[in-house]
Amino acid sequence: MGTLNIIYGIGALDDANIFLNDQRFVLTNLSTLGWVLIILGVIQLTGGISLLGGKTYGRVIGIVGAGLGAIGALLSVGGAYPWWSLAIFALCIYIVHGILVLGDDERRQVTT
């Protein structure tokens, strides 16, 4: 998710054609949207790397980042690609579910 958000952010900063010209945004313009997506993507990537290491920081940032990604995907459902936005939303919900239900700390299981 972090990689996709960084790509979307770069596309928004570059005024790419993936965004409609007559569409209104929640944020003021594409430049602001691009920076928000890049920052969110970096946070999600750091959480994912930390999650691979089995750290609590990764679990917390993973849940927060995926939750924010799900909200962002829902806000963009009315855009040019609604099915893609719904797929991103489903992926974010799947990530939150996986972290909450299946994501026990691996180091704790090895030491006991």
Do 75 and 82 form a contact (C-beta atoms < 8 A)?
Answer: no
> Token pair 């719904």 is at which residue?
86
- What would the pLDDT profile of 42-89 be if each residue is shown by its tens digit? 988 888 888 888 788 888 888 888 888 888 888 878 777 789 889 989
Taking the whole predicted model, whether its pTM rises above 0.95 is answered as no
CB 12 within 8 A of CB 33: yes
